[in-house]
Structure 1
Amino acid sequence: MEGASLAPIPVKSSGPISYADAGVDISAADRSKDKIKLLARRTFNKNVLSEIGSFGGLFGLDLSKFPDPVLVSSADGVGTKLKVAFELGIHHTVGGDLVNHCVNDIAVQGATPLFFLDYLAMGKLEGNVVEKIVTGLSDACKANGCALIGGETAQMPGFYQPGDYDLAGFIVGAVSKDRIITGEKTQVGDVLFGLPSTGLHTNGYSLARKLLFEVAGYTADQYVGAIKEKTGAALMKTHRSYLGIIRKLHAGDCVAGMAHITGGGISENLPRVLPKGMGAHIDLTSWQVPPLFTHLQELGQVEQDEMFRTFNMGIGLICVVPADKVKKAKAILNRANERFHVIGRVVRGDRKVSYA
């Protein structure tokens, strides 16, 4: 009615309402941050100029190592591999998955990883889970010579289901301008070296989980003869870092281009480092596809093209080696005890991959 005022809505409360009543425990977050600081400090070096907890992380670039520096950055997540981690209660490996994935993404361009930041979000903060995740991040950063200088741990009640969380990361590296690897020097006849993956790494999990858990009806702790291990163990193998061997090959000037085989598989990642007018031919007989991938294909009658643009098929890194550097590249790989396969060649084409 005109002139009428709205009556206040009565609120029932037994007393003052806090942030904790809304599902966000600041005290628990503070306790977790103290543990995170200790884990992050293990990765610090002389270039880290700030403490964990600052509004921004400070990092001093050593120009003596990079005379004409170019910064290289990448961001990524762990994806639905986290669903398997939730089911198994395994949280210490996903941090390594994330760091190694990001490290590989910039290393294939010749970059040295400098620092890393993470984003961890969950409905209710569980201190023991946070500590396991950040331990994995810290261990992987330290192994890759990368400083964990900051991040965000967010409590989002009502957004995530109990026990669920999401994890993403951001990395920055550097390379001198004349040492950037772009693939532009690739030529027809260059040889493709494939380095083995450790399972699915962090891609293709939505299809893999559907095939293993829905189509086949396996449980995560079930031993499967076709893959010779438990389903969960096969899916939770850590995404490996190729940084060490990439550095050796790069120092020996043995690579014209490199492709980290992630989402999109070989079919969509290898063309990213092929110049215009060139393609790649892959010899399918040159390596034995691990049983996990062949079993997935059998379970869903998945087409070959779909397999090669969804999964890495046992090849996590492809190096484009100039024909006159093949012998040297093989010697470097053998000295490093690094397994590899010569899987194909660069051919004339329209930046597509053919298989035979």
Structure 2
Amino acid sequence: MNRKKLTYKDAGVDIEAGDTLVEKIKPFAKRTFDKNVLAGIGGFGAGYLLPEGYKKPVLVSGTDGVGTKLKVAQMSSIHDTIGIDLVAMCVNDILTVGAKPLFFLDYFATGKLSVDVAADVVKGIAKGCEMAGCALIGGETAEMPDFYPEGEYDLAGFVVGIVDRDRYITGENIEAGDKILGIASSGIHSNGYSLVRKLFFEILSLGIDDELEELGGKVSDILLTPTKIYVKSVLELISNIEVKGLAHITGGGIPGNLVRILPEGRKAVIRKDSWEILPIFRFIQEKGNVPEDEMFRTFNMGIGMCAVVSPDNFKEAVAVLEQAGEKVFVIGEIVEGERKVEML
């Protein structure tokens, strides 16, 4: 009995496509390399030489994804910006302790590998790494037939950064009278997309390519605006000003994230009218009839990063951030009281 020879490709895994992808993404990754990268893309491991100039270096790691914003990218067939979101969600997290990102790795998983789609995704990851000043030194591409629906993929990112032990930001020195600065976001960033998709595509029955005049663009462009990467501006701030605390405003909004850096006996009082609520959030709240407190618990509402600084130098802090290209608001202050965030 002559039976057909079974190959891995017959089972749905194309090794040659994976090899092609590696060759295609090498130029993107190479642009992010610095002098400390010891190995290139394609090996079994990647080495990174710790930079000099740190007295007591502390390595800081972080990992994240982009949630169901991936669905929007896949609906629109726009894949070259979602990688920026992936990098942003990771590097902004480790930035909150003052860490400079050193290197980044990604994990891309799909049912059937499309070299062009995967290459676009990695191109965005590399761009995000360039924006954050870190090296894309490796990653993993997994082709898993029957595991993901056709045309879908999943992403995860991993970052390692460095900070001197003496400059590690913990929030423990936050005291009454300190000012809370809010650094503007670029939009929804990468949180709340399950609510967003339900509103846009189910309740409002919008198409991914529909124009929204009140928001000034297509649905795809509005919803795929990349998460802002704060690394360079905030590191500039830290090098000039004593920053007592930093909070990345992600899922949970300002109330759920700012509280994480407060010491016991300190309360953050936030004035909701002290900054510009972006039009996209007004749209979501009005069209979805979403309660205000739900909006502030789900979205960043226009503030992507908070910094706590002394009242003696908050004006200088604002000036440094604005000089670095950020839009900054004084959104509140620290008072004595129960450890929580009060929204007024």
TM-score range with shorter-chain normalisation? over 0.9
Q: CA deviation at 1:70?
A: 0.3
Structure 1 residue 14 displacement after superposition: 4.6
**CA offsets 1:190-211 (integer angstroms, 9 cap, x no match):** 1111111111111110111111
The secondary structure found in structure 2 opposite 1:166 is strand
Structure 1 residue 278: deviation in Å?
1.0
Counterparts of 2:319 and 2:128 in 1: how far apart (Å)?
28
For residues 135-162 of structure 1, give each alpha carbon's deviation from its aligned partner in whole angstroms, at most 9, with x where no partner exists: 1111221232211111100001101111
Give the Cα–Cα distance (whole angstroms) in 1 for the partners of residues 343 and 189 of structure 2: 22
Q: Deviations over 1:11-48 (max 9, x none)?
A: x9851111111110111111111122232222112211
Match in the other structure for 1:7: none
2:172 alignment counterpart:
184
- Separation of aligned partners in 2, 1:288 and 1:144: 26
Match of 1:89 in 2: 77
Structure of greater Rg: 1
Instruction: Say whether the 8 Å CA contact 1:203–1:311 is kept in structure 2.
Output: yes
String of CA shifts for 1:27-81, please: whole Å, max 9, x gaps.
111111112223222211221112222222111112x222210000100001110
Matched, 1:301 2:289: yes
Which residue is equivalent to 2:53? 65
Instruction: Tell whether the 8 Å contact from 2:184 to 2:326 is kept in structure 1 after alignment.
Output: no
In the alignment, the residues of structure 2 paired with residue 344 and residue 170 of structure 1 have an alpha-carbon distance, to the nearest angstrom, of 32
| Corresponding pairs, count | 344
In the alignment, which residue of structure 2 is the partner of 1:9?
none
- Which aligned segments of 4 or more residues in structure 1 are displaced greater than 4 angstroms? none
1:30 aligns with 2:19: yes
Gaps of 5+ in 1: 1-11
Percent of matched pairs sharing the same residue: 51
Against the structure 1 CA distance between its residues 145 and 334, is the aligned structure 2 distance closer, same or farther, given a 3 Å change threshold? Answer: closer
Unaligned runs of 5+ in 2: none
Provide the C-alpha distance between the structure 2 equivalents of 1:219 and 1:349, rounded to a whole number of angstroms: 48
Match runs of 1:265-284 below 5 Å:
265-284=253-272
Among 11, 17, 20, the alignment partner of 2:6 is 17
Match in the other structure for 2:45 = 56
Kindly indicate whether the alpha-carbon contact (under 8 Å) linking 2:13 and 2:145 is maintained by their aligned counterparts in 1.
yes
Shifted more, 167-176 versus 130-139: the winner is 130-139
1:352, 1:79 → 2: CA distance?
27
Larger mean Cα displacement after TM superposition, 239-248 or 171-180:
239-248
Residues 13/26 of structure 1: CA separation in 2 closer, same or farther (3 Å cut): farther
- TM-score normalised by the chain length of structure 2: 0.96
What is the CA–CA distance in structure 2 between the aligned matches of 1:138 and 1:334, rounded to whole Å?
Answer: 26
Would you say the 8 A contact 1:271–1:353 is kept in 2? yes
In structure 1, how many angstroms separate the alpha carbons of the residues matched to 2:4 and 2:325? 67
Normalised by the length of structure 1, the TM-score is 0.93
